[in-house]
A and B are shown apart, each in its own frame.
Chain A
């Protein structure tokens, strides 16, 4: 195996050394080994780092011959085992696919775009573009680590999604290696179907690559819309007394559709408290709900929006903090994990939720937290005029196996709560396969399975993710029942361990 892979990628970009392989069996989430090994075989047999689509094509053809499962890994910055092998096999690490083309203009429109390779991080791309007076339209909150290909393969929602939509809406074309090893270029369907060279033979379509976690093809390069660096930026930080006023403010911001509204970030009082205990965010009054409102665009548009926002904040009983507080919040937008200084070993649920239900969600979350003696730490982004991406974190202790396992049941409670208010788990990966029925209706699930079958009939690419629960334990009914049972023990375990509020 090693020799065959070295022939394709060379000695330096191929490894079968167990020491090197071990990190590729992990992502950002800690999952107890007992659970991982019960359900998966995550240690790859080999990891390779190709530098071209041609190398990836050869790798896929080789894997296809030996029926070896292939998992693609970018930044490894998600928490759902999206990039972790379920059945060992080969991991293709895309981090050596680096670089982007000159900015080009779309004929007949003012749109600017670049071809960017899949392994670049969003921050590196943005830094590079800014040297040329351009910027990415939106980016994930993990921009320093998430790769271009990785975010496209996930949900694609983040900072800047309010004006620019999901990253999927910003892609004009893709270069992809199919599950049979063909290299194809797929243009956005509404652009020019004739440019889909080879796609018919490969049965692969443009939308097959959007948010499908590397299960239908391997993205090597993306033609991405970019924007000019805005004339003016302003970062306001408003604080409110309660979730109702905060939710109303978020709804209003989404509804007004200011052209300069770039991002809105919510922090709960618990999130702010956790940061303050670690020495950050000292300027924010304790107990307040905060909204960071980021405006970017033409000078007059930003100025007009500021005036309106100032008035509406007052109307909602809120207060705007000094400019430098907002600027600092923006500068630290990729550093939410600082709260782990106060609360290490966090568990989480991440979901999309209608903004109109945000206040109700938060109220019920607070009650749930009180009832179960669980400190819930929440932050959220507005990702469209009517939708928020909400992250709820709660402390556990990975050093205590029983505590950690019973705590996992609370994630299920959070998804149930979100679902009752129109929310959906944001990403599927492996761990969220029990929630597939909450994310897609029956017809959509069936359509997804058909597309997977058409694009990857041998189920070579990232098996176990995104379509069916790969184990009976993850069947929604079995899993749901199991979580209820485990959840019944949680109060007792927390009581015995004297604390559901972390350390």
Chain B
């Protein structure tokens, strides 16, 4: 792990590269909503240059801190950056620095304390991790089952939030239907640490990473799957760096795993007469490179009319729910989500799917708020619905 001095030096070097061209500005969901230059990535980098390269500490004001935390970490700025700056990494480093300066948003400090106490992002005790199983009549979910081939890492949101438990219920139902020998970690599953990384608190993640890795390894599974795009990104991109080495098992997003089951005919999708579009989650798409498998699932369902949104794949717009934005400015997060659900409605779709519990939750709220004729479902929920119907 880098020292704060090393991190600040890295920020200084990166900020020097920026040519302030503003390509980032036009794709930034935050700038689109706020509209002032101060909210554009190029301005944030210009301020970082002042603070870290030119050592003008007085520029590190509360407004500077607020703007740095008004970011979904969607990574679209990196995709379009004319100078090739890895901006997402830069934003994370800047947040680490904010925390070191004691300028972290109070809600993020609170969230970190919460995770430390309960090992999840909710206020529920971690023993309640499998409460969502109670509503399943025909599927038995066994925690830490010996001899399992697959472990399902549920994620905090679809473990604890009633709006999202349908995702975990659908995933286990699909695994059960395909006769997969799987297990879950139950109360031994701790938060993956993604919200802490996004808050610039990567130090606290090490303990969580070590715990989770040890528990999954002790199960002896070949594959770990998760339905959460952020958990997937953390397991595949952050844990190997934090823990310094390979995990010893394969990690797949549920959409990848289920697409594999369909290809090998272990799972036959059902019929669904609906017009469906797909929202690429930033942490699964742009930040992890997984675009095709969720689409493969949707198109495998008989009767589905699949339509794409103009902003898709590498250039997909963010749902507004990433980067802890809702904790910093809920209205801003919601405004971004509204923009996205309107784009979905404009395609003629009646169902908007995604492959991320956070995206689904954020987009669902926006669709309800706007009273749009649009149902928002996780792609696994859609697949299970096709089988139920």
- Where the two chains meet, the residues of A that have a C-beta atom closer than 8 Å to any C-beta of B are 12-13, 15, 19-20, 22-24, 26-28, 47, 49, 75-77, 93, 95-96, 121, 123-124, 127-128, 131, 142, 144-145, 278, 280, 334-338, 340-341, 344-346, 399
Contacts and interface: CB of A to CB of B under 8 A. Distances in A.
B37 A23 contact: yes
Contacts of A93: 35, 37
Contacts of A280: 84
Contacts of A27: 20
Given A96-B35, A144-B82, A280-B84, A76 B22 contact: yes
Given A121-B26, A131-B310, A336-B82, A19 B63 contact: yes
A35 to B, nearest CB: 16
What are the nearest 10 A-B pairs in CB distance? A145-B22, A23-B37, A144-B23, A337-B82, A337-B83, A338-B84, A344-B16, A337-B19, A19-B63, A28-B20
A338 B85 CA distance: 8
B129 interface: no
Nearest to A27: B20
A75 B22 contact: yes
A75 B35 contact: no
Contacts of A399: 53-54
Given A23-B46, A28-B19, A344-B16, 11 more contacts: A20-B37, A26-B20, A26-B46, A49-B35, A93-B35, A280-B84, A334-B23, A335-B81, A337-B83, A338-B84, A345-B16
A124 B26 contact: yes
B17 A341 contact: yes
A338 B38 contact: no
Contact of A77 (B21, B36, B37, B53): B21
B76 to A, nearest CB: 11
Contacts of B21: 28, 77, 142, 145, 337
Contacts of B17: 340-341, 344
A341 B26 contact: no
B349 to A, nearest CB: 16
20 contacts: A13-B35, A20-B36, A20-B38, A23-B36, A23-B43, A27-B20, A28-B20, A96-B35, A131-B310, A142-B22, A142-B23, A145-B21, A145-B23, A278-B84, A334-B80, A334-B82, A337-B21, A337-B83, A341-B84, A344-B16
A100 to B, nearest CB: 14
A280 B40 CA distance: 26
A336 B23 CA distance: 12
Contacts of A75: 22, 25-26
A373 B350 CA distance: 64
B239 to A, nearest CB: 25
Contact of B38 (A13, A19, A142, A278): A19
Contacts of B54: 399
Contact of A145 (B16, B26, B36, B61): B26
A127 B314 CA distance: 14
B20 A338 contact: no
A334 B82 CA distance: 6
A309 to B, nearest CB: 28
B27 interface: yes
A280 B69 CA distance: 31
Nearest to B50: A22
Contacts of A144: 22-23, 26-27, 80, 82
A399 B52 CA distance: 12
Interface in B51-91: 53-54, 61, 63, 80-84
B36 to A, nearest CB: 5
B25 A145 contact: yes
Most buried by B among A49, A77, A127: A77
Contacts of A145: 21-23, 25-26
A95 B32 CA distance: 10
A128 B315 CA distance: 13
Interface string B6-43: 00000000001111111101110000000111101001
A278 B86 CA distance: 13
B25 A338 contact: no
Nearest to B63: A19
B37 A76 contact: yes
Nearest to A23: B37
A340 B37 contact: no
Contacts of B37: 20, 23-24, 76, 93
Contacts of B22: 28, 75-77, 142, 144-145
Contacts of A335: 81-84
Contacts of B16: 344-345
Most buried by B among A47, A123, A144, A341: A144
Most buried by B among A23, A26, A123, A142: A23
B119 to A, nearest CB: 39
Given A24-B37, A96-B35, A340-B19, A123 B26 contact: yes
A329 B37 CA distance: 30
A145 B21 CA distance: 7
Contacts of B43: 23
A338 B26 contact: no
Contacts of B63: 19
A124 B84 CA distance: 20
Most buried by A among B16, B20, B27: B20
A128 B311 CA distance: 10
Nearest to A29: B20
Contacts of B81: 335
A158 to B, nearest CB: 14
Contacts of B18: 340
Contacts of B83: 335, 337-338, 340-341
A502 to B, nearest CB: 12
Contact of A19 (B35, B46, B61, B80): B61
Nearest to B85: A341
Contacts of B25: 75, 145
Contacts of B36: 15, 20, 23, 47
B26 A127 contact: no
A95 B19 CA distance: 20
Contacts of A20: 36-38
Contacts of A47: 36
